[in-house]
Amino acid sequence: MTNTTSLKSAQKALDQANQALNSAKSDLSAAQKNASPEDAQKIKDLGDQLTAQQQLIMKTTTDLSTAQAQAKTLASQLVDGQSTIDSINQQITSLKSKVSQGADDVNKLNKELSDLDHINQDVTSATTKVTDDQSAVDSATAKLTDAKLKVTTAQTTLDEAKKTASSQISTAQTQLDNAKKAQTDAQTVVDQTKASIAALEADNISIKLPTGYNEALFQQLADVIHNQNATQQMYDDASKAINPIANLGVDLNANGYTPTATDKAQQVNMTSLSAADQLALTQFTAELINSARVQFGYPALKVTQSSLDFAKAVIEQYEQYSDANGKKTWDISAKGGHYNEGIEKAASQYGLNDAGNYYEDAGTAGYILNQGKTMADLKQGIFTAVIDMLFNDGNGEDYLHATSLLGINAGKVTEFLGVGTDNLDQIHLELVPDDTRAYIKDPTKFDPLIRCQFQMVLATIKRLKTSRQS
């Protein structure tokens, strides 16, 4: 505003100066007309001064115009600047308001920060508590896991205990059942034994040996038997030395068996002996052969369930045989000897050495008369067969049956006996040496320790023999 006023004053002064100059020019021009030379010089000087003054005024006018233009520009800039100032002032006012508000907010924030410190303290306390609680939870979880493990272990132990108890109960029940069965079987054996004792007492059977029929007579043959390099001629020579004395035993025992009324009345199925009939027949045969063995000083034959079962298995093999023509059952006479293959199969079945026939002495059809309808028929047939094997075995057999029945082959080793008959009336005597190295390969299948239920019979027989001798 001040700059505009100054420009107007300058313009007014300039105008007045121009008027004065113009007036001076008029006056000068008039003076020149009337002036003297001296004055004319002065007037000229004044004219020069006026001209100079005029030039100054013109310059001033130009400067003034420039100043005016600048003034307008400045005025415009001033207006713009004022607007900017006003805007800035407004912004300042707004900022002051915001600053004031900001101060309030700062105060509020400070308060909130203060509150936040308390909150942080609470959070810290809460965090600490959470940490403690988490530790407690972890500890509780660990205890729970341990408890679950203990429960699982206890359950497993309980299950195992239940399983063991169940097994023990089952085993105990089985043992009880077996004990009951054993008791029943024992009673059956007692009953059978009583009958056998009565039968043996009634039989009062014993083989009579000729004078000179002893171990010394068989020594040469025994040496040949145990000689792996022995020839057939050696067997023949040894057996011929036995013949004269041995043959005497046939006549000596011609009337050695007298059947009892009980045996005559007892019907049997020779082609399928009952267990009781097989036992009675085997006991009779053992008693008969043992009466000769005891005179030789050899161990008595023993009867076991395994020996009975093995004899039955051999007989089954004989009866299962079938030739190319469809003929059933192995015929010893027709085939010229024992059914070795069948004997070996039965031996394998019962865990015995199955490399050959180490076990059987057999009587061909013809020994048992009357088709074996009674126990007396069977015992008579066995008695006759045994007498032939002991005293009339030199005709092509070299007394091999005799050395087997007397125990010479086994070398004074206890042997187990099983006896049976087949559907061709053939008699089968199976003798198994109590030798786990050479013969009994698997005692779980042929158990030499199960003597038991039949030994009372043999003990009774021994007692009876002793009482007879005394």
Q: Has residue 453 got a pLDDT over 90? A: no
Q: Which residue has better confidence, 63 or 5?
A: 63
pLDDT at position 235 is 84
Beta-carbon contacts of 451 under 8 Å, excluding residues fewer than 6 positions away, are 302, 304
Beta-carbon contacts of 208 under 8 Å, excluding residues fewer than 6 positions away, are 249, 252, 253, 256
In whole angstroms, what is the distance from residue 331 CA to residue 426 CA? 8
Mean pLDDT score, 67-93: 74
Residue 208, both tokens? 């009579």
Rg (CA), the chain: 74
pLDDT exceeding 70 applies to what percent of the chain?
Answer: 77
pLDDT digits (tens, 9 = 90+) for 218-240: 888 888 888 989 998 998 888 88
| Least confident residue range of 26-40, 262-276, 308-322, 421-435 | 26-40
Beta strands in 398-468 (DSSP E): 415-421, 427-433
| Residue 185 CA from chain centroid, whole number | 40
Mean pLDDT score, 388-403: 85
Using pLDDT thresholds of 50, 70 and 90, give the confidence band for residue 10. low
pLDDT digits (tens, 9 = 90+) for 357-370: 999 999 998 899 87
State which amino acid sits at residue 242: I
| Least confident residue range of 29-38, 124-133, 343-352, 388-397 | 29-38
Q: Which residue has better confidence, 176 or 462?
A: 176
| Least confident residue range of 27-31, 42-46, 332-336 | 27-31
pLDDT at position 452 is 46
Beta-carbon contacts of 238 under 8 Å, excluding residues fewer than 6 positions away, are 220, 221, 223, 224, 398
Mean pLDDT score, 179-204: 54
pLDDT at position 180 is 67
Mean pLDDT score, 236-258: 91
The strand pairing partners of 360, in sequence order, are 430
| Least confident residue range of 84-98, 373-387, 423-437 | 84-98
Task: Count other Cβ atoms within 10 Å, centred on residue 73.
Answer: 10
pLDDT digits (tens, 9 = 90+) for 143-163: 878 878 887 887 888 788 778
Q: Has residue 254 got a pLDDT over 70? A: yes
pLDDT at position 1 is 58
Q: Has residue 190 got a pLDDT over 50? A: no
pLDDT at position 299 is 95
Using pLDDT thresholds of 50, 70 and 90, give the confidence band for residue 291. very high
The torsion of the CA quartet 393, 395, 397, 398, rounded to 10 degrees, works out to: 80
Task: List the domain boundaries for the chain.
Answer: 2-105, 204-469
In whole angstroms, what is the distance from residue 100 CA to residue 161 CA? 85
CB 8 within 8 A of CB 1: no
Using pLDDT thresholds of 50, 70 and 90, give the confidence band for residue 186. very low
In whole angstroms, what is the distance from residue 291 CA to residue 406 CA? 10
Q: Which residue has better confidence, 462 or 247?
A: 247
Residue 38, both tokens? 């001296």
Q: Which residue has better confidence, 143 or 78?
A: 143
pLDDT at position 94 is 77
Q: Which residue has better confidence, 412 or 200?
A: 412
pLDDT digits (tens, 9 = 90+) for 61-72: 787 678 778 767
As a whole number, the mean pLDDT across the chain is 81
Q: What is the three-class DSSP state of 415? A: strand
Most confident of 15-29, 83-97, 258-272: 258-272
Mean pLDDT score, 70-97: 74
The torsion of the CA quartet 28, 34, 39, 45, rounded to 10 degrees, works out to: 20
